[in-house]
Structure 1
Amino acid sequence: MNQLLLVGRLTRPVEDRQVGDHRVVNNCLAVSRRHRDRNGELQTDFIPIVAWDYLADLLVKYAQKGHRIGVVGRMESRHYTNNQDQKVYILECHVQDITLLESKNGSAGKASGQNHSTPKGQEDYDAIRRQYEVPSQEQLDMRQLAGFKA
């Protein structure tokens, strides 16, 4: 099983780029450890994250440097050969789901558990997400029963 659950802060401005027909955001998540070092400072890991397509859209639209987000993803490794003819190995978290714990206006909104109405940003987030969802086999079967072509 290869599944990560991370909560941390984005370390760079959120910028996307086009790769073929896909949008991608590469960023880094600062994740604090639970224990402190000898000086009493919290230790922090900086984990590269990669978000594709609708997840990239969501980050660009709703997140910025310093925002706290939750990420579910899988760790992937890759390598390349640098100019000194050395192999460089990279570990990245490929994002499968995102929870925005702060909005661009700084409030936690729905994620705080204190706001029982759906914030406007959350409605937009849900709409973008639905746009990219693939119907389940059960949904396709129901459409066919109802006379729709899947």
Structure 2
Amino acid sequence: MLNRVILIGRLTKDPELRYTPSGVAVTQFTIAVDRPFTSQGGEREADFIPVVTWRQLAETCANYLRKGRLTAVEGRIQVRNYENNEGKRVYVTEVIADNVRFLESNREGGAGGGGQREEAAPFGGGGGGNTGRSSNLPRGNQNDPFSDDGKPIDISDDDLPF
């Protein structure tokens, strides 16, 4: 059996970070995901999907995600239920994320927003991939050989891999 979901959307508000009584971090946020079609009136519609992250990933999301930011979420769908104060059964469907990728740099341009892509690694430990937090890259474009300075790039045929 398989329960995997991948979503790309924008946060509807800043994430809410809380801690369980045992001290485990948990963050909740909602992402708006566009539907692949328009309504009869020609308007785009979206689904608003609740997302939950735990532990280190929760703290990372709380620190870096903000309302409106484009984000990719990978995880599983979970359905839980509880009885509310009126005695009615309430069902909640949410995505439990184990990987969140920040697809845009910080819009404020503050610390850490040097135009580099930031990604949050899965809480389960190194997935062997690049987490996007490479600190050995220079800030800005001072030493970037591919920065657009208005001049054409000279590439010989010997440099091409094909």
Q: With the length of structure 2 as denominator, give the TM-score of the two structures.
A: 0.66
> Are positions 1:4 and 2:43 aligned together?
no
Which whole-Å CA distance do the structure 2 matches of 1:135 and 1:7 have between them?
A: 20
Deviates more, 1:22-31 or 1:53-62: 53-62
> Are positions 1:85 and 2:87 aligned together?
yes
Please give the root-mean-square deviation of Cα atoms over the aligned residues, in Å.
2.6
Distance 1:88 1:94, change over 3 A: same
1:15, CA displacement in angstroms?
A: 2.5
Specify which structure has the higher proportion of helix: 1
1:103, CA displacement in angstroms?
A: 2.5
Residue 145 of structure 2 aligns with which residue?
A: none
Residue 44 of structure 1 aligns with which residue?
A: 46
8 Å Cα contact 1:54-1:132 kept in structure 2? no
Residue 105 of structure 1 aligns with which residue?
A: 107
Which whole-Å CA distance do the structure 2 matches of 1:28 and 1:6 have between them?
A: 11
1:58, CA displacement in angstroms?
A: 1.7
Q: With the length of structure 1 as denominator, give the TM-score of the two structures.
A: 0.71
Residue 112 of structure 1 aligns with which residue?
A: none
Q: Secondary structure, in 3 states, of the residue corresponding to 1:48?
A: strand
Distance 1:134 1:104, change over 3 A: closer
Identity over the aligned pairs, expressed in percent? 31
Residue 21 of structure 1 aligns with which residue?
A: 23
1:132, CA displacement in angstroms?
A: 6.2
Q: Which has the larger radius of gyration?
A: 2
**Runs (5+) with no aligned partner, structure 1:** 108-114, 137-150
Q: Secondary structure, in 3 states, of the residue corresponding to 2:60?
A: helix
Partner AA of 1:47 in structure 2: I
Which whole-Å CA distance do the structure 2 matches of 1:67 and 1:60 have between them?
A: 12
8 Å Cα contact 2:100-2:122 kept in structure 1? no
Distance 1:90 1:7, change over 3 A: same
Residue 95 of structure 1 aligns with which residue?
A: 97
Distance 1:15 1:104, change over 3 A: farther
Residue 155 of structure 2 aligns with which residue?
A: none
Question: In the TM superposition, what whole-angstrom CA distance separates every residue of 1:79-105 from its partner, at most 9, and x where no partner exists?
Answer: 010121110000000001011011223
